[in-house]
Chain A
Amino acid sequence: MEATANATATLESNLWGGGVEPMKASYGKLMMWFFLISDTFTFSALLVTYGMIRFSFPGYDGPTADFVSSPLYWPIPEKIFDALPLLHGVTAPLIFVGIMTFILIFSSVTMVLAVEAGHRMDKADVEKYMLWTILGGAAFLGCQAWEWTHFIHGTDEGSVFKQIVDGKWVEKTIFGANLTENQYGPAAFADLFFFITGFHGTHVFSGVILNILIFFRSSTGFYDRRGSYEMVEKVGLYWHFVDLVWVFVFTFFYLV
């Protein structure tokens, strides 16, 4: 820590213009924190929406084993998210989303290792760990693409829902999900799935782009010439934030 502080101090002797660093953080780092707190509010809005809509629907009221989807009550997530790629027909509740969680947490670890290597001005280590982080981010996005595809296409059997059409009750088999109807439960369930995981996925995508940029600039020796790897730290903050949001999405969308 001392090393970074000293390096920054010699670089910018006037610091923020008044001779002091407010909150003992560099300008860029503090602004990243303020951006993240505003992004927290955006994600919170989605989470709050989920909470309110979830509580305005009845829950499923019976033994978990006998659960069948219906638009009348909220589904049990472990009964919906139970598929794995390449293992068609195998029931593996929450396993795939567990793998995604692991990938994202692990990419957060490699990111913080890159930040630590940056403190040591160790160019090779920064590049190595940035590559692992980019790989983790890309793997997560790939998993999410599969998750969405499966969610949209649905299961082989679909779900038989009763609906009123022209004043008469008719039975209709629904496969998969879109924004107006889905085989898993109320329309709002799929809507929230698309909005929340989609908004998070967009953040992961932006993060991967930023990580690639950092890797590129690091490998061309840009940060060595600048004398500081602090940019790795700033993008690292963003990347950890994306991981942090996923921790909440995982709990409130998939577990509870």
Chain B
Amino acid sequence: MANAKEYDKEAGAAHRKVIWNTFLILLAITVAEFTIAFSIENEGTGRFIRISIFIIMTIVKAGYIIGEFMHLRHEAKSLFWTILLPIVFVAWLLGALMWEGGSIFASHHP
């Protein structure tokens, strides 16, 4: 209990500050996504730039949620990698089946 009281005064306030800062970052990224959705034309190279920015921003947002809100950044390294490494296979499957979808498209529209 003595420890709990100490936490209240010092680390507690610092942690709350981190939480609110993380929220502001997430909010800023979401607002930026909206701005881009309506400012960059959804055609040709604009479309490619849009999608790239959206995907990068999504990964950044996911990083903040997992790292700070879910506290994974501060867990043991073994736990950190146990959770993150399997995602590599998900990314591979996503890429592989989008490629496959492109092939289906090509066979329907020769």
List A residues at the B interface (Cβ < 8 Å).
Answer: 1-3, 6-7, 23-25, 30, 33, 36-37, 40-41, 44, 47-49, 51-58, 63-64, 76, 78, 93-94, 98, 101-102, 105-106, 108-109, 111-113, 116, 119-122, 236-237, 240-241, 243-244, 247-248, 251-252, 255-256
Chain A residues with CB below 8 A from B69, complex form: 108-109, 111-112, 236, 240, 243
- Please indicate the chain B residues that have their CB under 8 angstroms from the CB of A56 in the complex: 101-102, 104-105, 108
Kindly provide the distance from the CB of B25 to the nearest chain A CB, expressed in whole angstroms.
10
Within 8 Å CB of B6, what residues of A?
3
Query: Are B98 and A51 in touch, CB under 8 angstroms?
Result: yes
Q: Is B83 a contact of A33 with CB atoms below 8 Å?
A: yes
The answer on a CB contact under 8 Å between B8 and A120 is yes
Best-surrounded residue of B4, B55, B58, B74 (most CB of chain A within 10 A): B4
B79 touches A119 (CB 8 A): no
Q: Is the CB of B65 within 8 A of A247?
A: yes
Given contacts A24-B76, A25-B79, A56-B104, contact A44 B90 (CB under 8 A): yes
- In the complex, A63 Cα to B41 Cα: how many Å? 9
Residues of A close to B12: CB separation below 8 A? 116, 119-120
Given A6-B3, A56-B108, A119-B7, A108–B65 Cβ distance below 8 Å? yes
B61 touches A247 (CB 8 A): yes
Knowing A105-B30, A116-B15, A244-B65, say if A44 contacts B93 (CB, 8 Å). yes
Contact A240 B70 (CB under 8 A): yes
Question: Contacts A30-B79, A51-B98 known; A105 to B3 CB distance under 8 Å?
Answer: no
Q: List 19 contacting pairs A-B, 8 Å CB cutoff, sorted by A.
A: A23-B79, A44-B90, A55-B100, A58-B109, A64-B43, A78-B37, A93-B38, A105-B30, A106-B23, A108-B69, A116-B12, A116-B19, A120-B4, A120-B12, A121-B1, A241-B70, A244-B70, A247-B58, A251-B33
Give Cα A131–Cα B57 distance, bound, in whole angstroms: 30
Given contacts A48-B93, A105-B26, A241-B70, 14 further A-B contacts (CB under 8 A): A2-B3, A40-B90, A52-B101, A54-B101, A55-B100, A55-B101, A55-B104, A56-B102, A112-B69, A120-B8, A240-B70, A244-B70, A251-B54, A256-B54
Q: Assess A240 versus B65: contact at CB under 8 Å? Given A7-B4, A121-B1.
A: yes
Query: B3–A7 contact, CB under 8 A?
Result: yes
Question: Once the chains are docked, how many angstroms separate the CA of A208 from the CA of B19?
Answer: 21
Q: How large is the interface on B (under 10, 10 to 19, 20 to 34, 35 or more residues)?
A: 35 or more
Q: Is the CB of B55 within 8 A of A251?
A: yes
Taken together as a complex, chains A and B put the C-alpha atoms of A256 and B10 apart, in Å, by 43
A-side contacts of B97, CB under 8 Å:
48-49, 51-52
Whether the Cβ atoms of B42 and A64 lie closer than 8 Å is yes
Instruction: Give complex CA distance A167, B18 in Å.
Output: 65
For window 67-110 of B, CB contacts with A under 8 Å fall at: 68-70, 74-76, 78-79, 82-83, 86-87, 90, 93-94, 97-102, 104-105, 108-109
Nearest chain B CB to A130 CB, angstrom units: 15
A93-B65 Cα distance, complex, nearest whole Å = 26
Is the CB–CB distance between A120 and B79 below 8 Å? Answer: no
Neighbouring A residues of B87 by C-beta, 8 Å: 40
Closest residue to A251 on the B side, CB-wise? B58
- Measured CB to CB, the closest approach of chain A to B40, in angstroms, equals 11
Residues A52 and B98 in contact, CB atoms below 8 Å apart: yes
**In chain B, what residue has the closest Cβ to A2?**
B3
